[in-house]
Chain A
Amino acid sequence: MRFLISLHINPAVLDALTDEEKAAIGDGHGTFMEEIKASGELITTLALADPSQAAVVSVRGAAPVVTDGPYAEAKEFLGGFYLVDCEDRERALALAAKIPDAAIEGLGVEVRQVMFADGNLDA
Chain B
Amino acid sequence: MTEPAIEDLLREFAPQVLGALVRRHGRFEDCEDAVQEAVLAATVQWPGEGVPESPRAWLTTVASRRLVDQVRSEQARRVREVAVSAEPPPEVPDTDDTLLLLFLCCHPALTPASQTALTLRAVGGLTTAEIARAFLVPEATTAARISRAKQRIRQAGSSFPPPDGPDRLGVVLHVLYLIFNEGYTASSGDRLIRADLAREAIRLTRLVHARLPDDSEVTGLLALMLLTDARRDTRTTSSGDLVPLDEQDRTRWHRPQIDEGMTLAKASLAGSALGPYQLQAAIAATHADAPTAAGTDWRQIHALYLILERIAPNPMVTLNRAIALAEIDGPAAGLTLLATLDADDRMAGHHRLLSVRAHLLERSGDLAAAHDCYRRAAKATASLAEQRHLESRARRLHR
Contact = CB atoms under 8 A, between A and B. Distances in A.
Interface of A: 1-2, 37-44, 85-87, 113-117, 121-122
Contacts of A86: 113
Contact of B144 (A1, A2, A37, A122): A37
Given A114-B382, A122-B140, 16 more contacts: A38-B144, A40-B113, A40-B114, A40-B141, A40-B142, A40-B146, A43-B137, A43-B141, A85-B135, A86-B113, A87-B111, A87-B112, A115-B384, A117-B188, A121-B137, A122-B138
Contacts of A121: 137-138
22 contacts: A2-B136, A37-B144, A38-B144, A38-B148, A39-B145, A40-B114, A40-B117, A40-B142, A40-B146, A42-B144, A43-B138, A85-B135, A85-B141, A87-B112, A113-B382, A115-B384, A116-B188, A117-B188, A121-B138, A122-B138, A122-B139, A122-B140
Contact of B137 (A2, A37, A87): A2
A113 B384 CA distance: 12
Interface string B97-140: 00000000000000111100100000000000000000111111
A117 B125 CA distance: 27
A69 B369 CA distance: 42
B141 A39 contact: no
Interface string B139-171: 111101110100000000000000000000000
A26 to B, nearest CB: 23
Given A115-B382, A117-B136, A40 B112 contact: no
Contacts of A87: 111-113
Main secondary structure of the interface of B (DSSP, over half): helix
Nearest to B117: A40
Most-contacted residue by chain B among A44, A85, A87, A117 (CB, 10 A): A85
A103 B320 CA distance: 40
A40 B147 CA distance: 9
Contact of B384 (A38, A85, A116, A122): A116
Contacts of A114: 382
A14 B145 CA distance: 35
A111 to B, nearest CB: 13
A51 B146 CA distance: 38
A86 B137 CA distance: 10
Interface in B356-399: 382-384, 387
Contacts of A115: 188, 382-384, 387
B206 to A, nearest CB: 27
B351 to A, nearest CB: 11
A37 B138 CA distance: 12
Nearest to B144: A40
A1 B187 CA distance: 12
A58 B382 CA distance: 29
A85 to B, nearest CB: 5
Nearest to A38: B148
Most-contacted residue by chain A among B135, B139, B382 (CB, 10 A): B382
A115 to B, nearest CB: 5
Interface string B164-183: 00000000000000000000
Contacts of A122: 138-140
B306 to A, nearest CB: 27
Nearest 3 A/B pairs, CB to CB: A40-B145, A121-B138, A40-B144
Nearest to B384: A116
Interface string B26-43: 000000000000000000
A1 B116 CA distance: 14
A86 B135 CA distance: 11
A44 B137 CA distance: 10
Contacts of A116: 188, 384
Given A87-B111, A116-B188, A39 B384 contact: no
Contacts of A40: 113-114, 117, 141-142, 144-146, 148
Nearest to A90: B346
B315 to A, nearest CB: 15
Nearest to A112: B382
B149 to A, nearest CB: 8
Contacts of B135: 85
Contacts of A85: 113, 135, 137, 141
Nearest to B135: A85
Nearest to A91: B111
A122 B142 CA distance: 11
B25 to A, nearest CB: 26
